[in-house]
Structures are given as structure tokens and as C-alpha cells.
């Protein structure tokens, strides 16, 4: 099972392959805030500091939101838009 680590606290969780990152943060009470939950507001943006290749490919809507906010879409992701496919570490 993939392991997701929340660098801010050092907490980690083993999750089912393909689980939404949004669900991981909510179920583990990690302090990620949400707004639209539809990839539009950018509130749930986190930096994937390790394992960028282990989260689902980015779709255009997510890339546009991150880019409009002036952030680097190669390392930042929206928790409400990506799925976990392997070990990764996120940081807010």
C-alpha cells in the first residue's frame, strides 16, 4: 500500500492505491484547508516534496489553477484533484 507522509507534522498513513489525496488529508486530520473541492480555488494546494511520479497525472484544470496562482505545477498539486499511486511526501 502506498504511504503518504505529511511533512509539516511527520505523520504518515498507508492508503489504498488510487485514493484521492483529499480523502487522505481529511481522514487523518491533516491541516489542509478546502474550498471548492473542484480544482478551481487553489485552497488545497500542497507541495509534493518527494514522489512526484507517484501521484496521478495532472489535468488541464488543475495545471491552470496552480499556474494562475504563480506556483510551479511540477511540484505543487491540488489535494482535491490528485490520486495516490505510490509513496509520496507532501508539505503545505
Residue 42 touches ligand FES, criterion: CB under 6 A: yes
d(CA 13, CA 24): 8
- Cβ pair 48, 77 in contact under 8 A: yes
Residue 80 touches ligand FES, criterion: CB under 6 A: yes
Residue closer to ligand FES, measured from CB, 34 or 73: 34
The 2-41 site mask, x for binding ligand FES (CB under 6 A), equals: --------------------------------xxxx-xxx
- Cβ pair 74, 54 in contact under 8 A: no
Amino acid at each position: 500500500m502506498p504511504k503518504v507522509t505529511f511533512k509539516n507534522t511527520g505523520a504518515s498513513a498507508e492508503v489504498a492505491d488510487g485514493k484521492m489525496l483529499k480523502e487522505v488529508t481529511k481522514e487523518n486530520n491533516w491541516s489542509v484547508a478546502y474550498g471548492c473541492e473542484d480544482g478551481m480555488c487553489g485552497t488545497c494546494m500542497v507541495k509534493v516534496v518527494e514522489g512526484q511520479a507517484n501521484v496521478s497525472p495532472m489535468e488541464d484544470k488543475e495545471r491552470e489553477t496552480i499556474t494562475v496562482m504563480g506556483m510551479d505545477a511540477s511540484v505543487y498539486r491540488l489535494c482535491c484533484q490528485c490520486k495516490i499511486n505510490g509513496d509520496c511526501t507532501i508539505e503545505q
